[in-house]
Amino acid sequence: MPIDTIYRDSGCEWIDVEAPTEEDMKYLHERYEINNLLLEDTLDPNHLPKYEADGNVKFFLLRESTELERKNLNTISDISTKIGIFLLDNTIITVHRMKTRSISETKKELSSRQEICSPEKIALKIAVVIMKSFDDESLSLFETMDNIENEIFLKNTNHTNQIRRLYKLKRKSGLNSRVLTISTDAIDKFKLLNLEDSEVVDLKDKHKDVVADFDHLNIQITNLISMFLALSDQKANQVMKVLAIYSVYFLPITFIAGLYGMNFENMPELHTKHGYFYTLGVMGVIVICTFIYARRKQW
């Protein structure tokens, strides 16, 4: 996508670059004298959030939560996309690989308000929307966790796919927590811009709220995984308990059957007319007594 001028007034110009090419990077370097190393940081898909100043250029690299579903949740690029923000005097330049919610919503807000804005305030608006994207992601993960919890405890389903869903949920939550934790320093650096203290405090508070939400989510998911495994163990123990009780029932009568199956000539009741029925009766009495004993012991 070519370099696009999103906003311009007498005191501010906002230039946006989506999916930049080498020619775009060269143009930005030559036209605005931006350090090539900073430009290269915007091309690295797994680069961590940071703040860096180089001469009159202030550079923020932030990451926004994305709704893309990835099979492998191994790196932060699987759950977020980066946005590079360059501040130079009266110019703000944003560089990103894909369409982002923060850019589109900020653009829409500026066009609807028709107010004169500074590059610092545009950067702040983008950062606030980025924090909101993580806030929405935390709410979505909480909802997913509640659904899994209901299926486990109310619908009494503990199939193997449940633990896989929980593991995936834990991976997503952990990666989001990592991004937000690393973003703390970059968020704090907004105090260096020409902004009102209340505006910066609102951004920091939003960041702290989202970090707290994901910390709570991580704890809840860990506890749910532990409860799921405990519930699975309990059900396995119940099965073993039933099998053990049946074994107790049949062990004595199996012993009697084996004893009379040894085929010796001189055995009690072997030639008795009703010996077979006596033996069956003894077996039945043993089973009934075992059942009564197990009931009284509440096995």
Q: Is 89 left (phi over 0), alpha (psi -120 to 50) or beta?
A: left
- CA–CA separation, 10 and 1 (whole Å): 26
pLDDT in tens, 138-183: 999 999 999 888 888 777 665 677 888 888 899 999 999 999 999 9
Q: How many residues does the chain have?
A: 299
Per residue in 109-149, pLDDT (tens digit) is: 888 876 778 999 999 999 999 999 999 999 999 999 998 88
Query: Average pLDDT of the chain?
Result: 87
At 289, list the tokens.
Answer: 């007594």
% of the chain exceeding 90 in pLDDT: 48
Closest by alpha carbon to 87, among 44, 132, 43, 34?
Answer: 34
Name the percent of the chain in helix, strand, coil, to the closest 5.
60, 15, 25
Categorize the per-residue pLDDT at 206 as very low, low, confident or very high, splitting at 50, 70 and 90: very high
- Reduced to 3 states (helix: H, G, I; strand: E, B; else coil), residue 58 is strand
Widest CA span in the chain: 118
> How many angstroms separate the CA atoms of 94 and 64, rounded?
13
Contact between 186 and 49 under an 8 Å Cβ cutoff? The reply is yes
Give the whole-angstrom CA distance, residue 293 versus residue 249: 11
Please report the pLDDT score of residue 281 as a whole number: 87
Containing 79, the helix (H) or strand (E) segment is none
Q: What is the pLDDT of residues 11-48, one digit of tens each?
A: 889 999 999 999 999 999 999 999 999 999 998 888 99
